[in-house]
Structure 1
Amino acid sequence: MKISFFSTQPYDIKFFKECNEKFKFELEFFESNLDEHTVNIIEDSEAICVFVNDVVNDKVINKLVKKGIKYIALRNAGFNNVDLESAKRNGLKVCRVPAYSPEAVAEHTLAMLLTLNRKTHKAYNRVREQNFSLNGLLGTTIHGKTVGVIGTGNIGKVFAKTIKSLGTHVLLYDPFPNDELISEGFNYVSLEELLKQSNIISLHCPLTPETHHIINKDTISVMKQGVYLINTSRGGLIDTRAIIEGLKSKRIGALGIDVYEQEDKLFFRDLSETIIEDETIQLLLSFPNVLVTAHQAFFTEEALSQIALVTLDNLKQLKEFNSIENKSAELV
């Protein structure tokens, strides 16, 4: 089977080629994102493999069908960029990797929180310039704080357990509570109660119509003054304009984002020699209490190895059995 990969970076090629020694597929890699125009470069492939910023809407799917594509493999957990109804209507199978490394994302979430709180990124730059002053580097003690976790799937569950180990009081919100967390004594509350009580809020829910802009002007207004907010899930969970107003009013004491609503025009690219026209991200970057990373929470050797293995195994099973039995994978 020939597979066309979109939005590929050198590390994607490395890990998929290494893993493919077991599967013996024919792999074709494109650096460009998939959209209504780039879909035309596919030739003689039976499957495509896409990432978070690829566009797989109805128009693209119709063209994929004409190209003979039978399978759409997501090498990530989210599937908000795929028109699932159109895929089903056209007989295309869609699979994803829902749990490649929840620990990797949870660890990055913790790293962002600790960096913002103790300002280690600023301290690093200061010391390199021989400035050993502590002025402006004051943090708080995380121990004893109330941490709200919105979304308790694989990643949210790991983060909740990790942050609790630091001696925090953890509150959870999810329309579908996790029995494992309940059995371990974690407390589920309403979204409003979580927002009101939390000193720190971390987002770990998928992007759906129900969660789109779950952080908005109204929800920010009930948060504690000076709350820390971390988002390593999906950019669309946050109304960026409302967040900027929250930062200006100091309702938001610190913001850490590994995802951004308009990231498809920015992330996974070297724009160091480019004038970025996105005024919103430029404004965010101007705040001293904002930390932005470029969708790297998943980026560990273990995660990339697992992503490649599960993705190729998904396609192998779909090709041979028209279904997926692997518990670490999922047919969407």
Structure 2
Amino acid sequence: MTTLPVDPATTPDAVSAPAPTPTPQAEWRTLRGRNVGDRLYRVTLTALALVLPLLLVTLLAELVIGAWPAIQRFGLPFVWTSVWDPVAGVFGAAPMIFGTLASSLLALLIAVPLALGVAIYLTEFSPKWLRQPIAFLVELLAAIPSVVYGLWGIFVLIPFLRSYVVPPLRAALGWTPFFSGVFYGNSLLAGGIILAIMIVPYIAAVSREVLLAVPANQREAAIGMGATRWEAVWTAVVPYGRAGLIGAIILGLGRALGETMAVTMVIGNRHDISLSVLQPAYTMAAAIANEFSEAVGDLHLAAMFEVGLVLFVITVIVNAFARLLIWRVARGTAVGSRAL
């Protein structure tokens, strides 16, 4: 009988033999390699995390440098001066600031009830099979390009307002300064409605997350005390998440302040301050889009930079305040929240 050769490495003694103990030098090299890798990983992540703050500081510095000639020339009165005359070299941003704030506030008046209604329905009353489709459709509005909204406003919204909305408004409220004057089509009202449609997805999505974060015992306690489903929502759920809902609204406001293309196409772009929503207006973002590339002289260009600087400061403050409120709700320390 032929005997097969046996590999010494596969014998029971060899298999059960302990692995050789690494030397202290080998362990030190391994730990050193790990420390170097961890240190390199930490430095890389830190550098990546600092990119966005650095970008923000760089953007602010660029705006200040570009706007400096206008800041030196006009000073703080630039904010409340209403004259914008590139030929005479006199610039004031008051009409644009007014148009930006007025269109954004008008958009909030329209969007907030709709967005909060959608959020409350999805979290409290909607059947489970219907929640995701409606949430998807609402969030899909945020994916539509702003130029599409602008075209829709020109060819659908403005003719509809001219034929069916403005005549009864003027007949009923034409005596007030808010609905006086001739309606030309492109107006503050059209810009506000377009903005409202565009910010509804943002307010609704954040409001929905805030309402979902409310503890279930809030609802159960209210219902246990005899409240109806709607009373439980209105007296227990909404007050608990009040600060977060306010943050969602302010976040929508920050989105509306910086919108450019859609508003530029429907608001009228006229340097004027009018209380009537039927009259054309101008926003800071629209002014930058229309005039920056056609600025006449260095002072005009510096004035456009200063308009951008004012818009940047307002938007950062609004968004930071909104994020702070939402963060406080997430931590369960929202101001104004109360538990049953």
- Shared fold (TM-score, shorter chain, > 0.5): no
User: Which of the pair is proportionally richer in helix?
Assistant: 2
Structure with greater contact order relative to length (CA < 8 Å, sep ≥ 6)? 2
Report the structure number with the largest CA radius of gyration: 2
Question: How would you bin the TM-score normalised by the shorter chain?
Answer: under 0.3
TM-score by length of 1: 0.23
